[in-house]
Chain A
Amino acid sequence: MRSKRIGAGAAAVTGVLLLGACGAGGPGGSDGDFTDGKLVLAVLNDQSGIYKDASGPNSVKAVRMAVADYQKKYGDRAVVDEIEVTSTDHQNKPDIANTKAKELYERGGADVILDVPTSSAALAVANQAKSHKKLFLDVSAATTELTGGQCNKYTFQWAYNTYMLANGTGTTVTENGGKNWHIIYPDYQFGQDMTKSFTEAIKRAGGTVQGTIPTPFPNDNFATFLTKAGSTNPDVIGTMQAGGDLINVVKQFNESGLRERGIDLAVGLMLITDIHSLGVDQFAGTMFTDAWYWNMDAESRAWADRFRDETGTRPTFEHAGNYSAALQYLEAVQEAGTDDADAVVGKLEGRRVNDVFLRNGEIRAKDHLVTHDAYLARVKKPSEVKEDWDYEEIVTTIPAAKAFPPAEASNCSL
Chain B
Amino acid sequence: MNAVLQYAVQGLAAGSFYALAALGLAIIFGVLGVVNFAHGAFYMLGAVAAAVLLDTLGLTLWWALLAVPLLMFGFGVVVERLLVQWLLRLDPLYNFLLTFGLTLVLVEAVKQRYGVSGLPYKPPDVLSGRVELAGVVLPRYQLFVFLFSVAICVLVWLLMTRTRVGMIVRAATEKPELARALGINVGRWVTPVFGFGVALAGLAGVLAAPFRAITADMGNNFAIILFAVVVIGGLGSIVGAVVAGFMVGLVEAFGQAYAPTFAQILIFVLMAVIILVRPAGLFGRKEATA
Interface residues of A (CB under 8 A from B): 48-54, 187, 213-216, 218-225, 227-228, 231, 243-245, 247-248, 251-252, 255-257, 260, 273-274, 276-279, 281-282
Contacts and interface: CB of A to CB of B under 8 A. Distances in A.
A216 B210 contact: no
Contact of A248 (B11, B213, B257, B265): B213
Contact of A247 (B130, B139, B213, B252): B213
7 contacts: A50-B215, A220-B218, A221-B14, A248-B212, A255-B128, A277-B117, A277-B118
B14 to A, nearest CB: 6
Interface stretch (B2-10, B78-86, B231-239): B2-10
Contact of B139 (A49, A52, A53, A255): A255
Given A52-B116, A223-B14, A244-B215, A255 B142 contact: yes
A213 B213 CA distance: 21
A282 B121 CA distance: 9
A224 B119 contact: no
| Top 8 A-B pairs, shortest CB-CB distance | A279-B120, A247-B213, A224-B256, A255-B139, A277-B118, A277-B117, A244-B213, A257-B130
Given A49-B116, A281-B122, A216 B263 contact: yes
A215 B7 CA distance: 16
B122 A227 contact: no
B213 A52 contact: no
Interface of B: 3, 6-7, 10-11, 13-14, 111, 115-122, 128-130, 137, 139, 141-142, 210-213, 215, 217-218, 221-222, 252-254, 256-257, 260-261, 263-265
A53 B116 contact: yes
**Listed residue (A52, A215, A277, A282) with the most chain B CB atoms within 10 angstroms of its CB:** A277
Contacts of A231: 3
B115 A251 contact: no
Contacts of B122: 279, 281
Given A54-B117, A274-B117, A277-B118, A225 B260 contact: yes
B120 A214 contact: no
Contact of A227 (B6, B115, B120, B221): B6
**Listed residue (B6, B7, B11, B256) with the most chain A CB atoms within 10 angstroms of its CB:** B256
Given A244-B217, A251-B211, A257-B130, A224 B257 contact: yes
B105 to A, nearest CB: 14
B152 to A, nearest CB: 20
Given A216-B264, A251-B210, A255-B142, A223 B116 contact: no
A222 B111 CA distance: 24
A131 to B, nearest CB: 32
A96 to B, nearest CB: 17
A223 B252 CA distance: 10
A213 B221 CA distance: 20
A50 B116 contact: yes
B257 to A, nearest CB: 5
Contacts of B217: 50, 218, 244
A255 B141 contact: yes
B117 A53 contact: yes
Contacts of A223: 10, 13-14, 142, 253, 256
**Listed residue (A187, A227, A276) with the most chain B CB atoms within 10 angstroms of its CB:** A227
A225 B212 contact: no
Contacts of A187: 261
A227 B260 contact: no
Nearest to B7: A224
A332 to B, nearest CB: 33
Contacts of B11: 224
**Listed residue (A216, A248, A274) with the most chain B CB atoms within 10 angstroms of its CB:** A216
Given A278-B120, A279-B122, A218 B256 contact: no
Contacts of B213: 220, 244-245, 247-248, 251, 278
A282 B6 CA distance: 25
Given A231-B3, A251-B213, A279-B122, A218 B257 contact: no
Contacts of B210: 251
**Listed residue (B3, B142, B253, B260) with the most chain A CB atoms within 10 angstroms of its CB:** B260
A311 to B, nearest CB: 12
A243 B120 CA distance: 13
Contacts of B10: 223-224, 227
B229 to A, nearest CB: 13
B260 A213 contact: yes
Contacts of A225: 256, 260
A257 B137 contact: yes
Contacts of B130: 255-257, 260
A276 B221 contact: no
Contacts of B254: 224
B115 A255 contact: no
**Listed residue (A187, A221, A257) with the most chain B CB atoms within 10 angstroms of its CB:** A221
A227 B4 CA distance: 11
Contacts of B14: 221, 223
Contacts of A243: 117
A220 B130 CA distance: 21
A225 B210 CA distance: 18
A281 B121 CA distance: 10
B113 to A, nearest CB: 13
B257 A257 contact: no
Contacts of B128: 255
A243 B217 CA distance: 11
Contacts of B120: 277-279, 282
Contacts of B261: 187, 214-216
A17 B160 CA distance: 72
Contacts of B212: 220, 248, 251
Given A231-B3, A244-B213, A220 B221 contact: yes
A278 B211 contact: no
A234 to B, nearest CB: 16
A333 to B, nearest CB: 33
A272 B120 CA distance: 14
Contact of B118 (A216, A218, A222, A244): A244
Contacts of B221: 218-220
A53 B14 CA distance: 30
**Listed residue (B14, B129, B211, B217) with the most chain A CB atoms within 10 angstroms of its CB:** B211
B115 A278 contact: no
Given A257-B137, A277-B115, 4 more contacts: A215-B256, A218-B221, A244-B213, A279-B122
